[in-house]
Amino acid sequence: MDIIKSLQPAKIGKNECDNRDMLTIGICQMAPIWLDQKATLDKVIAQIELAASQGCSLVTFGEALVPGYPFWLAITDAARFNDQKQKAIHALYLDQGVMIERGDLAGVQATAKNHKIAVYLGIMERAPDRGGHTLYCSLVYIDQQGQIGSIHRKLHPTYEERLAWGSGDGHGLRTHSLGAFTLGGLNCFENWMPLSRAALYAQGEDLHIGVWPGGLHNTYDLTQVLAKEGRSYVVACSGLMRKSDCPDHMPSTEEILENSGDFMANGGSCIANPDGTWLIEPVIEQEALLVADIDHAKVRQERQNFDLAGHYSRPDVTRLVVNRTRQSLASFEEDGQ
C-alpha cells in the first residue's frame, strides 16, 4: 500500500491553540478480496492500523467495499428475469453480506478503539430488521471508542444497482463530531442529491465524506463543486477493482473477465479544500493511503461570505423536512404493552 501525503502546509497560524483546529485524516483506496467478507475485513483492519501509524484520527473506505461492489451487473446480462446465473451470483453476494447485529464488524470496532481512530466504512449490509435477505449499500461510522455512530443505507440504488440492492431510508442522515470538525457522509450518486446534502449541512457538516466504488469520472468534478458549495473540506474515497482481483471460485468468472477491462474501477480518491482547490489531487490505478492535515480555520474563513445553513439561508422561504425513522415492514405490539 503506497502512502501519499499532502505537500501543502495546512496550518494557518503558529500558536499552540491552533492545534485544536488540526485533524489528520486518511483515505484508503483499496481493492476488496472480492465477495469474501472475512478476508476483506482483515484487509480493512490492516489499513486502519496503517492509517493510525501515520497519525490519522480518521480513515475512510470506499462504497460497498465489504464484500465488494457488484461490477458483474453491467457485463453479464443481469436484467434477465429469473436467470439461474444471476441467482447463483446473488446467493453468494448475499451470503457474504455484513450482518452488524451478529458482530461482523467487531474486529473493525476493536481496532478503532485500540488505536483511537474513527472509521467510515462502506459495506453491503444484510439487515435483519428488513428480513435478512436483502442487501443495503450502507455507510457505517465508527467512532474513536469503537462505537457505531450511524448506519446510513443508500437512499436509492443507482441504475443497475437496483438489481442487487434495496432502497434505504433517512435514519443514517446524521453528522458526528471529531475534534473541531463535524463529519457527514453519503454514498456515490447520493452526493449529487441537493436535499440529502442539505440534511447534512443543516447539522453543521464541515468535513464531507463521499464514498464511491471507484472511478475518476465520478470524483474529479464533483468533489471540488461540493467543497465550494459547502465551504467544507470534501473527501472522495474510492475503491479499486482490477481484473486480477476477480476470484476463480466466483460464478461466471470467465464471462466477467472476458467483458472487463484491466480496471473495473480505477480509483480517483482525492481531497478538496473549502475554497475548492485540491489538497490532494485524484489518485488512480493504485492502492494507496492518502494522508492529509486539515485546518478548521480554513472552513471558518470560507464561511465568512457564504454559509448555506447559516447567514445565507432563508428557512422562512425554503425549508427541508427529513424523516429519520428506520423503515421496516412491520411493528409489533406485545401482550400487556
Dihedral sign, Cα of residue 185, residue 57, residue 203, residue 9: negative
CA distance 287 to 59: 15
CB neighbour class for 147 (10 Å; exposed up to 12, middle 13-18, buried from 19) = exposed
- DSSP 3-state of 136: strand
Q: Is 154 a catalytic residue?
A: yes
Residue 20's SS3 state is helix
Q: Which residue of the set 28, 56, 137, 188 is catalytic?
A: 188
Q: Catalytic residue among 28, 43, 63, 190, which?
A: 63
Active-site annotation holder among 154, 161, 190, 298 = 154
**163 touches 135 (CB < 8 A):** no
- Tell me the sheet residues that pair with 123: 66, 138
Catalytic residue flag (residue 228): no
Are 193 and 168 contacting, i.e. CB atoms less than 8 angstroms apart? no
Q: Are 153 and 172 in contact (CB under 8 A)?
A: yes
Distance of alpha carbon 46 from alpha carbon 67, whole angstroms: 16
The cell for 175 is 453528522
Catalytic residue positions, numbered: 63, 154, 188
